[in-house]
Amino acid sequence: MSEKSQCTQCSGIFCYPNIAANQHPNFDEAPAFCPTKLRTDIIGEALSHYDSEEVKEFARLASVQEFECYEHTPDGIRTRIPRIEETVQFAQKNGFKRLGLAFCSGLANEARIVVDILERRGFEVISVCCKVGAIPKERIGIEPEEKISGPKFYESMCNPITQAEILNEEGVDFNILIGLCVGHDSLFIKYCQAPMTVLAVKDRVTGHNPLAAIYLSHGPYYGRLRRRAQA
Of the candidate residues 15, 108, 161, 201, the single one contacting ligand SF4 (CB under 6 A): 15
Residues 26-45 that bind ligand SF4 (CB under 6 A): 30-31, 34-36
* Shortest CB 12 distance to ligand SF4, Å: 4
Residue 30 contacts residue 6 (beta carbons within 8 Å):
no
* Shortest CB 7 distance to ligand SF4, Å: 3
Within 10 A of 103 (CB to CB), how many other CB atoms are there? 25
Region from 12-20, 108-116, 129-137, 159-167 binding ligand SF4, contact rule CB under 6 A: 12-20
Of the candidate residues 1, 4, 12, 150, the single one contacting ligand SF4 (CB under 6 A): 12
In the complex with ligand SF4, which residue's Cβ is closer, 47 or 229? 47
Residue 29 contacts residue 15 (beta carbons within 8 Å):
no
| Conformation bin of residue 95: beta by default, left when phi > 0, alpha when psi is -120 to 50 | left
In the complex with ligand SF4, which residue's Cβ is closer, 15 or 212? 15
Of the candidate residues 1, 2, 4, 7, the single one contacting ligand SF4 (CB under 6 A): 7
Of the candidate residues 14, 58, 96, 191, the single one contacting ligand SF4 (CB under 6 A): 14
Fill in the amino acid letter for 173: D
Residues that bind ligand SF4 (CB under 6 A): 7, 10, 12, 14-15, 30-31, 34-36
